[in-house]
């Protein structure tokens, strides 16, 4: 089964939403971007703490890219776009953090399995 990244799914969702709103002549109101950007910064820091820089490199890169785009949009007074991109950044960061935790858990499971496999066969008598 093919695995589709969350960033691709998020991008498709935003494109669909933008296309639907473009046909109606409006862009969706996503609220004030400052809180969304702050949340994205915090989520990225959490992902970094979890080891995403080495364990979920693509996802954390996407989070940083979306955060940068959100900050650029905010400076250009494109509040709705900035808020949406900040939400994408936070989602990417959450995904990166969880992917990192999964990798660490899998490594711990493999280490535990190796320890079990190293036990003498037949048990004590």
Identify the band that residue 32 occupies on the pLDDT scale cut at 50, 70 and 90. Answer: confident
Q: Which of 39, 30, 42 is nearest to 82 (CA)?
A: 30
State the DSSP code for 50. Answer: T
- Please give the model's pTM, rounded to 2 decimal places: 0.71
Q: How far is Cα 53 from Cα 66, in angstroms, rounded to an integer?
A: 16
- What ranges in the chain are assigned the alpha helix state H? 6-24, 33-49, 52-55, 57-75, 79-118
pLDDT, position 122: 75
Predicted confidence (pLDDT) per residue in 76-122, tens digit: 999 999 999 999 999 999 999 999 999 999 999 999 999 999 999 87
Q: Among 16-25, 27-36, 42-51, which is the least confidently predicted range?
A: 16-25
User: What are the boundaries of each domain within the chain?
Assistant: 27-117
């Amino acid at each position: 089964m093919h695995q589709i990244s969350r960033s691709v799914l998020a991008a498709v969702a935003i494109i669909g939403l933008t296309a639907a709103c473009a046909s109606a002549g409006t862009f969706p109101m996503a609220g004030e971007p400052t809180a969304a950007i702050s949340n994205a910064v915090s989520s990225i820091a959490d992902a970094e703490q979890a080891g995403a820089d080495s364990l979920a490199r693509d996802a954390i890169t996407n989070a940083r890219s979306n955060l940068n785009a959100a900050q650029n949009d905010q400076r250009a007074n494109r509040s709705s776009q900035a808020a949406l991109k900040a939400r994408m950044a936070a989602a990417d960061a959450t995904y990166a953090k969880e992917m990192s935790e999964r990798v660490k858990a899998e490594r711990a499971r493999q280490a535990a399995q190796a320890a079990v496999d190293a036990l003498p066969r037949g048990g004590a008598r």
